[in-house]
Structure 1
Amino acid sequence: MIETAVILAAGEGSRLRASAPYKPLCPVAGRPLIAHALEGLAEAGIRRAIVTLSYGRDAIEAYLASRSWPLHVETVLADHREPNGVSVLAATDALAGQDAVLAMCDHLVLPALYRRMATAGSGNGLRLGIDRRLGHPWVDPEDVTCVATNGSAIVAIGKGLEPHDAYDTGVFAISPRLGAALATLASPSLTEGVRMLAAENRAETVDCSDIDWIDVDDAAALAHAERWMSQAA
């Protein structure tokens, strides 16, 4: 089972600016998104989290330092002006060749999803948690990353992809092969890295359609997340 996680938390989060100056500190049901991620990962059995930061770094690091966390937390510097693959690469040295659970700070998920991906492992390159509940009311069809599959293999991935048969939940199990692929790109996006591994038959999926999650990327999604968390309490 994988015991290390990388949390991408470097983005600017402009669509949530009215709710919080920095997206990782945006509260949902009384806790910042970064706290939901760290505590959920710990509950799933993860022992170490590498958080990639850029926009709002000082404020987020101060928050992280102000709390005692149930897992070891460290930070690395990325660049929010660059594609998100740069954030993955920023964690490469800290990973030192280890596999990791890769998670998005703004994706609120149940710990069971993290646990499933940590248990599944990275396979021959990477595995992505997918949701086959197309048309789910929590999913923004204009913003979600779509996935086309053949069995468990990823055939294609991208926003606006047609046809598709699944959504990207934003939780991966990754090996150093992803970083190696991203390092060859002039402008490395995570999606492009997945495409590269898919072309080599090194990108698989894990069906997580039975586990709820939401990408808290704007005010509408934040409202959905608040209702979900209040009902789950």
Structure 2
Amino acid sequence: MPITSAILLAAGYGSRLSSIAPSKPLCPVAGASLLDHALQRLHQAGMTRVIVVLGHEAGRVELHLAARPRPLAIETVRLSDWSLPNGVSALAAAPLLDGPALLAMCDHLVDPALYARVAQAGAGAGLTLGIDRRLDHAWIDPDDVTRVATRDGAIVAIGKGLAAYDCFDTGVFAVDRPFFDVLGTLHAPSISDAVTALAVQGCAHTVNCSDIAWIDVDDPRSLAQAEAWLAAA
């Protein structure tokens, strides 16, 4: 089944950007919010429907979404406790899905080609993660990026503190029901917890996206890098 639906996680506080924008999804980057960039690029990648998971400043974000028409069907889900790990955010969107979906992070500025490549790869029997093998890329924050260890295209380990790794998590996944089933068995899970569980089952795979630009806009430094990227495009 072709992937045309996406889950966009936009619930967090974004403390390192709070001096610039009280709502991280609404943080401006080169004249548009992170949220608007993500929605536009998902549309360009072929998505027709996006479920946006909200938490901090949810009302303000909903007003922003409603302020103008968009070429996507957009639904929102509110978390009662947005301080919980991101797996809880992903699980909140599950009841609105009836097939595979892209899973993306609102604070990641991503070339649409990366979304499209992961969507084309599909979720398989569990999930597929877009990975980046450029371990020395200037846009990567080594203290914050999620590290991934792979073998023959499969994930064998994932985590921010991973000692042995060969690539980075871009924050873009293709997921299907087994991913949500695993999340539902865990207490306050992160997405990495679900990836780890599926990896044990041999159901967590990768697609190489090392030739495509993306950046996690998480602090003033990465925001400046993102704006420079867009200005040069």
* TM-score, with length taken from structure 2: 0.98
After TM superposition, the runs of 4+ consecutive aligned structure 1 residues lying more than 6 A away are: none
Q: What does residue 68 of structure 1 align with?
A: 69
1:185-196 to 2 correspondences below 5 Å: 185-196=186-197
Distance in 2 separating the partners of 1:121 and 1:17: 35
Q: What does residue 171 of structure 2 align with?
A: 170
Shift of 1:191: 0.6
Distance in 2 separating the partners of 1:151 and 1:110: 26
Amino acid of the residue matched to residue 78 of structure 2? L
1:23-172 to 2 correspondences below 5 Å: 23-78=24-79, 79-95=81-97, 97-172=98-173
Shift of 1:137: 0.5
User: What secondary structure does 2:174 align onto?
Assistant: strand
Amino acid of the residue matched to residue 126 of structure 2? G
Distance in 2 separating the partners of 1:147 and 1:137: 18
Shift of 1:70: 1.3
Amino acid of the residue matched to residue 77 of structure 1? R
Distance in 1 separating the partners of 2:56 and 2:130: 27
Consecutive unaligned residues of structure 2, counting only runs of 5 or more, are: none
Shift of 1:69: 1.1
Q: What do residues 97-124 of structure 1 show as CA deviations (whole Å, max 9, x unaligned)?
A: 3110000000000000011111111011
Distance in 2 separating the partners of 1:102 and 1:212: 17
Q: What do residues 160-197 of structure 1 show as CA deviations (whole Å, max 9, x unaligned)?
A: 21110000000000011111101111121111010000
Identity %: 56
Amino acid of the residue matched to residue 27 of structure 1? P
* TM-score, with length taken from structure 1: 0.98
Report how many aligned residue pairs link the two structures. 231
Consecutive unaligned residues of structure 1, counting only runs of 5 or more, are: none
Shift of 1:46: 0.3
User: What secondary structure does 1:42 align onto?
Assistant: helix
Distance in 2 separating the partners of 1:130 and 1:12: 25
C-alpha RMSD over aligned residues:
0.7
